[in-house]
Amino acid sequence: MSGLIPFHDLVEALEAAPAERLFVTAWIDEDEQETLTFGEFRERARTQAGLLLQHGVGAGDRVVILMPQGVAAMAAFAGAMMLGAVPAFLAYPNFKVDTEKYRSGLAGVTANLKARAVVIDEEFPEEMLGHVSLGGETKLLRAADGGSKATKMLDARVQSEDVAFIQHSAGTTGLQKGVALSHAAVLRQLEHLSQALHLDPTTDRIYSWLPLYHDMGLIGCFILPMVCHVPVVMQSPVDWVMHPETMLQIISEHKCTLAWLPNFVFQFVPRRVPADRRREYDLSSLRALINCSEPVRTSSMVEFQKAFGVKSAVLQSCYAMAENVFAVTQSGLTQPPGQIWADGHHFRSAHRIVKVAEGTPGAVSFTSSGRLLPGHELRIEPDADAVAGDGAVGEILIQSDCLFDGYYNRPDLTAQTMVAGWYRTGDLGFCVDGELYVAGRKKDLLIIGGENVYPQDIEELVAAYPAVHDGRVIAMGVYNNDLGTEEIVVVAEVENEALLAHAAEVEQEIRSRIVGGLGVAVRTIVLKPPKWIVKSTAGKPARSATREKLMKEYPELNREEEVRSQ
């Protein structure tokens, strides 16, 4: 493909795909797989569109899709777009999450979207169904297996500037931020990205275990292949995480060429696949494994390369976010991404990159996320007292021809992040020789295995527990070298010191509340007597000062420097 995408909207792109070409293979295990051609997928999508049409869904209506990862969920999404409706995937309820919490999250998001319909699958848990709280205008629909197809649905052709779909991230905070993206913005992104990747629909094949409600899974592994007519082989995130070796099996059997993966995968997979089995897999078909959605760690990439012997140019990187549809930068595919070593003292105290030789004592290393895609601009905004210019570390601001217009129905949240046409990413980084290096985060956000988790959501759940002094809790992400990703650390003040004698029970209750509320597990809980957490001048718990105090008292928690210096 030349990279030129001649389509007016995403549905037109799907309609133009060769009917006989393979589109999606849903890989369950070696005995169970479902493969659809583009022609078959279109039929499935039309059936879903027919169901929505019967229930009065039309152009511009929001449709929430709550279905397990798979072909049916993708068909419902595409079917909604065929009607000019605006679909949004939300995370499927997992058994760990408390029903009440799930219900309130869903009620909030359907109310904010003013959704016309929520589409669920046949297997949607009964106990959850009783608690799906919807506004009066929202209908609950079971995805159609058969039924009539919508034949006259595209009479009112969508405008390319119309919203195509909405992306969310997880948790109470993430669900308030529906990123609304137009057909035109998505197509421009795919135009840039397909060129940067030298995408060839006749030879490329994408592998994915990424969730469809996440930008990497939605854009990289569903919308990009749908628009560029590239086959994709996917499995569910849960199946993959419980059997990480299956990733190698699928790539090997299906001769996949491209995949996007969060950083932790580059060491999680080698550590979970016994050395004597590694050579069973042929990964020579791979053109690029793109490290994306967590800060890129050189050590993780090296570990993967050593374990599986892939060419170093296969390991690539990218900086992406839903607000920009997906990618902002992409490393060049012919050589490994740039890597630099910088003086640790200058980096920490002056927020400046001063290059030093590899392995210099006290040096820190960074791996590049590549160069800006065409149509993109970037600005590094250093701290007030820092010097601007090449090598200055500061907040990354971006502008592009595929940037979102705002968070759906939330002009207040949009105003907090958009400044005169620039999007404040909340990430910290620097540029050297035209390449972007992401160095950390300014915003309070945890990225656990590639998924965004907002500390406020964790703190709210813990603060509601009577044994914890109300509001006196801080949640933070601390990098764990064994996992290659952040883990959640929670520090909480108990209501009175006597409770510290029952620390095990208090800890377990905190753990249960967090997993019940958000579905994520906490690795470390630190209980402290009252008045231990550092307060801000406004009297609120101060996250960064408390983190500093905690790391001083528990240096074993902080292995960042050790990792960076490897």
Partner 1 sequence: MTAQAQQMIEHIRQLIRKPNVMIDEDTPLVSSGLIDSMALVDVLLKLEDLTHMRIPAGKVQPKDLDSVAKMFATAQRVGKPRK
| Residue 384 CB-density burial (10 A; 0-12 exposed, 13-18 middle, 19+ buried) | exposed
Q: Interface with partner 1 includes 521 (CB under 8 A)? A: yes
Which one among 4, 20, 32, 421 touches partner 1, defined by CB under 8 A? 32
Q: Does 503 bind partner 1 (CB under 8 A)?
A: no
Among 1, 302, 483, 545, binds partner 1 (CB under 8 A): 483
416 binds partner 1 (CB under 8 A): no
Contact 535, 500 (CB under 8 A): no
- Between CA 368 and CA 352 the distance in angstroms is 16
Q: Please, are residues 264 and 484 in contact by the beta-carbon 8 Å criterion? A: yes
The verdict on 275 binding partner 1 (CB under 8 A) reads no
Residue 207 within binding range of partner 1, rule CB under 8 A: no
Site membership for partner 1, residue 243 (CB under 8 A):
yes
- Please, which residues have CB within 8 angstroms of residue 501's CB and are 6 or more apart in sequence? none
Closest to partner 1 by CB, 95 or 498: 95
70 binds partner 1 (CB under 8 A): no
By CB under 8 A, tell whether 526 contacts partner 1.
no
Strands (E), 413-516: 418-419, 422-432, 435-441, 446-448, 451-453, 468-480, 485-494
What three-state secondary structure class fits 145?
A: coil
CB 36 within 8 A of CB 73: no
Stretch that binds partner 1, among 142-150, 171-179, 226-234, 238-246 (CB under 8 A): 238-246
Among 30-38, 155-163, 186-194, 299-307, the segment contacting partner 1 (CB under 8 A): 30-38
Q: How far apart are CA 503 and CA 488, in angstroms?
A: 18
Q: In whole angstroms, how close is the CB of 474 to partner 1 at the nearest point? A: 18
Nearer to partner 1, 96 or 559 (CB): 96
**Residue with smaller CB distance to partner 1, 88 or 170:** 170
* Type and span of the H or E element at 553: helix 543-553
195 residue type, one letter: Q
| Angle 23-29-30 from CA coordinates, rounded to 5° | 90
Stretch that binds partner 1, among 8-16, 84-92, 160-168, 239-247 (CB under 8 A): 239-247
What 265-269 contacts at long range (C-beta under 8 Å, 24+ apart), as own/partner pairs, is 265/450, 265/484, 266/291, 266/297, 266/300, 266/301, 266/303, 266/304, 266/315, 266/484, 267/299, 267/300, 267/303, 267/304, 267/483, 267/484, 268/244, 268/483, 268/484, 269/244, 269/245, 269/304, 269/307
**30 lines the binding site for partner 1 (CB under 8 A):** yes
Interface with partner 1 includes 476 (CB under 8 A)?
no
Q: Is residue 244 close enough to count as binding partner 1 by CB under 8 A?
A: yes
Does residue 515 bind partner 1 (CB under 8 A)?
yes
Which segment (56-64, 402-410, 455-463, 505-513) binds partner 1 by CB under 8 A? Answer: 505-513
Q: Which residues neighbour 544 within 8 Å (Cβ) at sequence distance 6 or greater?
A: none
Check residue 28 for interaction with partner 1 (CB under 8 A): yes
Tokens of 265: 């995968």
- Residue choice 31, 122, 358, 412 for contact with partner 1 (CB under 8 A): 31
What CA–CA distances, in Å, run from 23 to 4, 106, 134, 337, 565?
20, 31, 34, 30, 43
Interface mask (CB under 8 A) for partner 1, residues 435-454, using x and -?
Answer: --------------x-----
Residue of 82, 115, 248, 522 that binds partner 1 (CB under 8 A): 522
Q: Does 235 bind partner 1 (CB under 8 A)?
A: yes
Per the CB < 8 A criterion, the answer to whether 225 and 256 are in contact is no
360 belongs to the binding site for partner 1 (CB under 8 A): no
Residues 6+ away with beta carbon under 8 Å from 485 = 262, 263, 264, 294, 447, 448, 449, 450, 479
By CB under 8 A, tell whether 246 contacts partner 1.
Answer: yes
Give yes or no for residue 514 binding partner 1 (CB under 8 A). yes
Residue 105 CB, shortest distance to partner 1, in Å, is 18
Q: With binding defined as CB under 8 A, does residue 523 bind partner 1?
A: yes
* Residue partners of 38: CB distance under 8 A and separation at least 6: 14, 17, 18, 19, 20, 21, 22, 23, 229
| Binds partner 1 by CB under 8 A, chosen from 6, 18, 29, 470 | 29
- Total of residues contacting partner 1 (CB under 8 A): 34
Q: Which residue in the block uniquely carries the two structure tokens 């907090």?
A: 416
Alpha-carbon distance of 395 to 379, in angstroms, equals 8
Asked whether position 500 contacts partner 1 by CB under 8 A, the answer is no
Nearer to partner 1, 385 or 556 (CB): 556
The torsion angles phi and psi of 379, rounded to 5 degrees, stand at -135, 135
Least Cβ distance, residue 264 to partner 1 (angstroms): 8
Question: Whole-number minimum distance, CB 287 to partner 1, in Å?
Answer: 25
Of 266, 268, 308, 423, the one binding partner 1 by CB under 8 A: 268
Q: Which one, 24 or 117, has the nearer CB to partner 1?
A: 24
- Which of 308, 237, 299 shows the shortest CA–CA distance to 270? 308
- Residue 422: both structure tokens together: 């620039």
Please state the closest distance from residue 508 (CB atom) to partner 1, in A.
7
What is the contact surface with partner 1 in residues (CB under 8 A)? 28-32, 94-96, 235-236, 238-244, 246, 264, 268, 272, 449, 483, 504, 508, 511-512, 514-516, 520-523
